[in-house]
A and B are shown apart, each in its own frame.
Chain A
Amino acid sequence: MKASVEQISSVKRKISVEIPEDEVVKEVESFYKDLGKKAKIKGFRPGKVPRNILERYFKDYVKAEVIQKLIEESYPKALSETELQPVSPPAIDPGEFVGGKPFQYSAVFEIKPDVKPEGYTGLKLEGKKEEVKDEEVEQRLKALQNLHANLTTISEARPIQAGDYVIVDYEAYAEGKPLEGGKATDFTVEVGSGQFIPTFEEKLIGLNLEEEKEIEVSFPADYAYQKWAGKTVSFRVKIKEIKAKILPPLDDEFAKDLGDSSLEDLKAKLKGEIEKEKALALEQQLKNQAVDQLIDGNPFEVPESLVEERAKAMVSDTKLRLAAQGVALKNLGVSEEKLQGDYRAMAQKQVKTFLILEKIASQEGITVTDEEADGRLKEISERMHQPFDAVKRYYEKNNLLPEVKAGILRDKTLNFLLEKANVEYV
């Protein structure tokens, strides 16, 4: 077997393989021998069919099979001989198959680009260290307060104000006819939150208990619920109950309910949380900068197939996420192909990042141990409230461990880059 490599581009290779005649003939003979034992042809007992008759019946079949077998056997050999590692399935172009001649074929595939990352130590990064302001803590606290608010039915009759919770029955009509799915009893609306239909909420303000009213709402043409988009719908509303939101007082008692000893403690805890979030955001920002600089500083060609694969993975991720929310992709009017096209640029950047980081890791001798992978799996198992063993088995079964390890490797490499970088805090 002879193999020669032709360079099409920096990531594309064409490999031409020639298989000598005697090997081809041997293959063909052994194939006919096997076939002759099994083939049933009228006028002959199985195993007694002469070769030339077999050839007449099975020539094309044998040809296709032998070509396939020859390629299957020689392709991996050719790869190891030429020391190439393809990242895409080969596009094989089988040559002429003529008896008494060596068989030739060529395969085109993509390899990982030969990246030589340079200047990855001492990257100039800029970050903004932000102090935690008191207002931010207050804001967090208010959100907590809101979360723990009590709803109480108002004691004295008064019209509805913004911020009230109102329990209503409603029925929706369009052009005098009741709408499908437009009827509800004991429906709770938070007035002024904008979570239901904003205009509807506005018009509730000022109504009294037990009052019945017709509210007209015209929906914009691009309304998310397509059945109602562009229509004017009138709602027949009956106010059944008005509830006011009573916020708990912010004191040590409130803090104790949340498991802290005093209000000061709670504030300190919140401050710590915000600090942590900010530090994380800063780190992420620095890492993004580092990656951007690396990509700018080390231009190289990216294998198309990797980008394609990545974009596909991103599309299926999006689909899963949407499915979890109960939305199908086609209901949003986006085709899968279009989404994939949109993700292309992002996918390309990701692939570039992966390749550069991988190379830096190998240059710097950064590796990932099994224990580290186990540690990551443990984190995942805790987040998903699953036993560690089950998670590990799942990852092993679906061959996801290399992916986990690659992720850790990238993180470690990025941390290494940050350590070596000149970070300037503004």
Chain B
Amino acid sequence: MKEAQKIIQRPMITEKSTRQKEEGRQYVFEVHRDANKVEIQSAVERLFKVKVLQVRTSNVLGKVKRLGRRHGKRPDWKKAVVTLREGDRIDFFEGA
């Protein structure tokens, strides 16, 4: 669990995450299922050159989807909400 690129899998850009970013400097990522908060913190700090104040995580359970009698399950994943120090920001979320 060393490589930052493997821990942070993708940013989540949604209505909710946009609001969180604007109201509380919180950025949301999808992260590796086995990563812990400490690893996420250091990965974000190294990748985006920012100071992280707090990391909150949750396991999101995949939805069960069915097509007629067959049913399948979307994979579970881990979400991390990262709060940054005041003044820091991640350009990736800023659009153009």
Contacts and interface: CB of A to CB of B under 8 A. Distances in A.
Interface of A: 43-45, 48, 50-56, 59
A59 B96 contact: yes
Contacts of A55: 95-96
A53 B95 contact: yes
Contacts, number: 24
Question: Which one of A45, A48, A52, A59 has the greatest number of beta carbons of chain B within 10 Å?
Answer: A52
B95 A43 contact: no
B15 A56 contact: no
Given A50-B18, A55-B95, A59-B96, 17 more contacts: A43-B12, A43-B13, A43-B14, A43-B17, A44-B14, A44-B15, A50-B95, A51-B95, A52-B94, A52-B95, A52-B96, A53-B18, A53-B95, A54-B95, A55-B96, A56-B95, A56-B96
A55 B13 CA distance: 14
Interface of B: 12-15, 17-18, 94-96
A54 B94 CA distance: 11
A43 B16 CA distance: 8
A256 B96 CA distance: 94
B53 to A, nearest CB: 24
Contacts of A59: 96
Contact of A43 (B15, B94, B96): B15
B14 to A, nearest CB: 3
A398 to B, nearest CB: 49
B15 A45 contact: yes
A54 B95 CA distance: 8
24 contacts: A43-B12, A43-B13, A43-B14, A43-B15, A43-B17, A44-B14, A44-B15, A45-B15, A48-B15, A50-B18, A50-B95, A51-B95, A52-B94, A52-B95, A52-B96, A53-B13, A53-B18, A53-B95, A54-B95, A55-B95, A55-B96, A56-B95, A56-B96, A59-B96
A59 B95 CA distance: 10
A207 B13 CA distance: 100
Contacts of B15: 43-45, 48
Contacts of B94: 52
Contacts of B13: 43, 53
A43 B17 CA distance: 9
A-B pairs, top 4 by smallest CB distance, nearest first, are A52-B95, A43-B14, A55-B96, A56-B95
Contacts of B17: 43
A50 B14 CA distance: 10
A45 B18 CA distance: 13
A272 B77 CA distance: 103
A380 B15 CA distance: 70
Nearest to B19: A50
A53 B12 CA distance: 13
Contacts of A54: 95
A51 B94 CA distance: 10
Nearest to B96: A55
Contacts of B14: 43-44
A52 to B, nearest CB: 3
A59 B96 CA distance: 8
Nearest to B13: A43
A33 to B, nearest CB: 16
Contacts of B96: 52, 55-56, 59
Contacts of B12: 43
Contacts of A52: 94-96
Contacts of A45: 15
A53 B19 CA distance: 13
B88 to A, nearest CB: 18
B60 to A, nearest CB: 14
A269 B14 CA distance: 95
A59 B13 CA distance: 18
Nearest to B12: A43
Nearest to A49: B15
A37 to B, nearest CB: 15
A101 B67 CA distance: 54
A43 B18 CA distance: 10
A166 B12 CA distance: 95
B22 to A, nearest CB: 9
A190 to B, nearest CB: 83
A55 B94 CA distance: 10
